[in-house]
Chain A
Amino acid sequence: MPSSPIVKISNLDKYFGRLHVLKNVSLEVPERQVVCLIGRSGSGKSTLLRCINFLEEPSRGSIEVDGVHVDAEGKGKQQRQLIHDVRLKTGMVFQEFNLFPHMSVLDNVIEGPVTVKGMDRRQAIELAEQNLDSVGMFFKKDEYPMRLSGGQKQRVAIARALTMEPRVMLFDEPTSALDPELIGEVLNVMKKVALEGMTMIVVTHEMGFAREVADRVVVMADGELIEDATPENLFKDPKDARTKALIDRYRSGEG
């Protein structure tokens, strides 16, 4: 019996003014799946990801995360509550890390559980320390973010998102702001999170990661999903010319 999807994006449209950036996009992600969203910049992949937790408000269509259904055209207090519920079910990791600079690493990680969920501080610290340990950042728990390298910041950001115990993790180009030598440590942590069974949607340019870790790669161009395949099939036999161009460019960069 196929399990019902944990994320269901239905007929999503997004306009920025008159610019149509998402064109009737639908996507279903079953639990524990790792999906990589790839495409050239401006293809709408980040916008799609950000619509899932309503950091961008979609213009039409609906989002469903773990049974919480939010219609793009909903309004008022009820809508705000639904968006809040969706945000509690999703953890997000940003390209620019966005750690809170005025808080220590540990305080960054417990901020969400304590302030948003009202979790007991001691319990939050315990959970935060476990997660910091699992991303290899426990030893920096009392440091401030400005003292960390980019890769370390991103690992803390992942721990911060995980400590909210989300059902789905959203990654918005998590390695694009990193020096090349720091990308590996972040990808390794993401791989670990994937192996622990987390559902993940990852916007990335890291084809190596997509090929190795993703269960499925979705290609976007001009605000549409143009291809949706397993990484093996996609890299071996891209159907769309635009996908082929994307993969060729990656291959030439690799060689």
Chain B
Amino acid sequence: MASITNEGQSPTSQAELLYQAQLRKERVFRTHVGISWGVLFLILIFLFSGQDIKIGDFTIVQTINIDTEFMLKNITFIAGGLGQTLLISVLSILFAIMMALLAALGRLSKFPPIYALSTFYVSLIRGTPLYLQIFFFFLALPQLGIVLSGIVSGVLALGLNYGAYMSETFRAGLSSVGKGQREAAMALGMTPGQTMRRIVLPQALRFAIPPMGNDFISMTKDSALVSATGFVHELMWRATKVGRSQFNSLEALIMAAVFYWTLTLILTYFQGKLEARLSKGDR
């Protein structure tokens, strides 16, 4: 009896110790990475601090001098583009999700024309630059008498573009749902539509949500391309406008970069939370 309890206990506590050692190692590593980030960040700020470091009269390092007065004066104007950037991103991602779902279902279709339509769409979109697609909607369509506003062109192009890429994620999600799931639903008497809605799609979406989060984050940055139409006053458009007119592009672009980066960090944080919650759920 005694030996059994001993055997039962010692490997558990040993495993526990190993696990804790592992955790400690990871924690130390993360702390060091955090400190290094801080240092890199300080260096970056220092680079733009406009200082001269001299020994006697001899300048050894001269850091970049930026016009902080310009920045303070224009920060609200540039920040005013955040709303548009987010609006374009949200509308485009919703459109992209719809397109991706249709394309993914088409890709799984056994009916050749539908399968072809889906692969044709994905191939055409992936084979041409996003920049071209935005201009196609904005500049080429008017020649055919279809005039779209900058924002509509942007959302159409971004949505179609991301939809094509995301369809691959959705397809993987749909095929991750085993055949047994469909059979169980069919055996209960569900119609193919009910099986798709109640059983397959919820599982496929759960699988596809983390990569969709990544796509949304890239979307917020690719939305900057829409500024090229000149009619959507989002972050990038505002930064280039004030930067060019006052010959302060350096400062203007730095501000825009800080906004994009901060936005990305915030979204990545929520994305991480979401992912952690989903993985706790059922895998």
Contact A87 B189 (CB under 8 A): yes
A101: chain B residues at CB < 8 Å are: 203, 282
In the complex, chain A residues whose CB is within 8 Å of the CB of B194:
115-116
Interface residues of A in 50-65 (CB under 8 A from B): 53, 55
**Is B186 in contact with A98, judged by CB distance below 8 angstroms?**
no
0/1 per residue, A97-141, Cβ < 8 Å to B? 011111000000001100111000000000000000000000000
Interface presence of A227 (CB below 8 A):
no
- The answer to whether A111 and B198 touch across the interface, beta carbons within 8 angstroms, is yes
Chain B residues near A102 (CB, 8 Å)? 202-203, 206, 282
When the two chains form the complex, which single residue of B180, B187, B190, B202 contacts A90, counting CB atoms closer than 8 Å?
B187
Docked pose: A139 CA to B281 CA in angstroms: 20
Contact with B189, one of A94, A116, A146 (Cβ below 8 angstroms): A116
The answer to whether A87 and B180 touch across the interface, beta carbons within 8 angstroms, is no
Q: In the docked arrangement, what's the CA distance between A226 and B134, Å?
A: 69
Q: With A55-B183, A98-B183 in contact, is A164–B188 under 8 Å at CB? A: yes
Question: Dominant SS at the B interface?
Answer: helix
The distance in angstroms between the C-alpha atoms of A55 and B182, with both chains bound, is: 10
Q: Are B183 and A94 in contact (CB under 8 A)?
A: yes
Q: Number of B interface residues, CB 8 Å?
A: 21
Q: Which of B168-198 contact A (CB under 8 A)?
A: 178, 180-181, 183-191, 194, 198
- Residue numbers in B under 8 Å from A164 (CB-CB): 188-189
Q: Give the nearest-CB partner of B184 in chain A.
A: A98
B120 to chain A, nearest CB (A): 31
Contact B283 A146 (CB under 8 A): yes
Closest 6 CB pairs of A and B: A98-B184, A112-B188, A92-B187, A98-B180, A87-B189, A116-B189
Q: What is the interface of chain B, defined by CB distance below 8 A to chain A?
A: 178, 180-181, 183-191, 194, 198-199, 202-203, 206, 281-283
A residues in contact (CB < 8 Å) with B: 53, 55, 84, 87-88, 90-92, 94, 96, 98-102, 111-112, 115-117, 144-146, 160-161, 164
Starting from the known contacts A84-B189, A116-B189, 4 additional A-B residue pairs (CB-CB under 8 Å) come to: A87-B187, A101-B282, A112-B188, A161-B187
**Interchain Cβ contacts under 8 Å between A and B, 8 examples:** A87-B188, A100-B185, A100-B199, A111-B198, A112-B189, A112-B190, A144-B282, A161-B187
